[in-house]
């Protein structure tokens, strides 16, 4: 992972948090957009949370901007101001409706926490946040 990827990940903007679905969006290099999506218990109240990302390439970003009725705005701001319309059908279905193939869903990396293994050592351990 490059430093740019890490910086982009922490600059994500939360745009939706309703009905058990959380969506953040961020710009990626070169000129793309990524939706980070977390579905809380998507199958049933006992099912596991799902986390995945949908990436829009830099080439397709202009189609996304145009579909949102702009030619110059920053895509993250446009998505944030139009998120209700996007979420009516869901991110992937909305992208398909404007002619952008959402492609495969990329798993979001598990959260990493520091767990104390002794009084002096800290060891990174993968864990899922409930």
Average pLDDT over every residue of 111-130: 43
Model pLDDT, residue 37? 92
User: How confident is the model over 14-19, as a mean pLDDT?
Assistant: 93
The answer to whether residues 56 and 116 touch, using CB atoms and an 8 Å cutoff, is no
Which residue range(s) make up the domain with 59?
3-127
- For position 47, what pLDDT does the model report? 63
- How many domains, the chain? 1
pLDDT digits (tens, 9 = 90+) for 67-114: 999 987 689 999 999 999 999 999 999 999 999 998 777 666 544 434
Could you say which DSSP state residue 130 is in? Answer: -
pTM: 0.70
Which two three-digit tokens encode residue 36? 């980070």
What is the overall mean pLDDT for the chain?
A: 76
Q: What is the pLDDT of residue 29?
A: 79
Instruction: Give tens-digit pLDDT for 22-43.
Output: 999 999 878 899 999 988 875 5
User: How many CA atoms lie less than 13 Å away from 89 in the CB half-sphere?
Assistant: 10
SS3 28: strand
């Amino acid at each position: 992972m490059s430093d740019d990827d890490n910086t982009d990940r922490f600059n994500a903007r939360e745009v939706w948090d309703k009905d058990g679905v959380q969506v953040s969006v961020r710009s990626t290099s070169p000129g793309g957009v990524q939706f980070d999506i977390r579905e809380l218990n998507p199958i049933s109240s006992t099912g596991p949370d799902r986390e995945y990302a949908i990436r829009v390439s830099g080439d397709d970003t202009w189609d996304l901007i145009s579909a949102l009725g702009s030619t110059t705005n920053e895509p993250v701001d446009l998505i944030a101001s139009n998120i209700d319309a996007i979420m009516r059908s869901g991110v992937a279905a909305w992208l398909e409706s404007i002619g952008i193939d959402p492609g495969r869903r990329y798993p979001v990396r598990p959260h990493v926490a520091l767990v104390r293994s002794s009084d002096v050592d800290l060891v990174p351990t993968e864990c899922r946040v409930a």
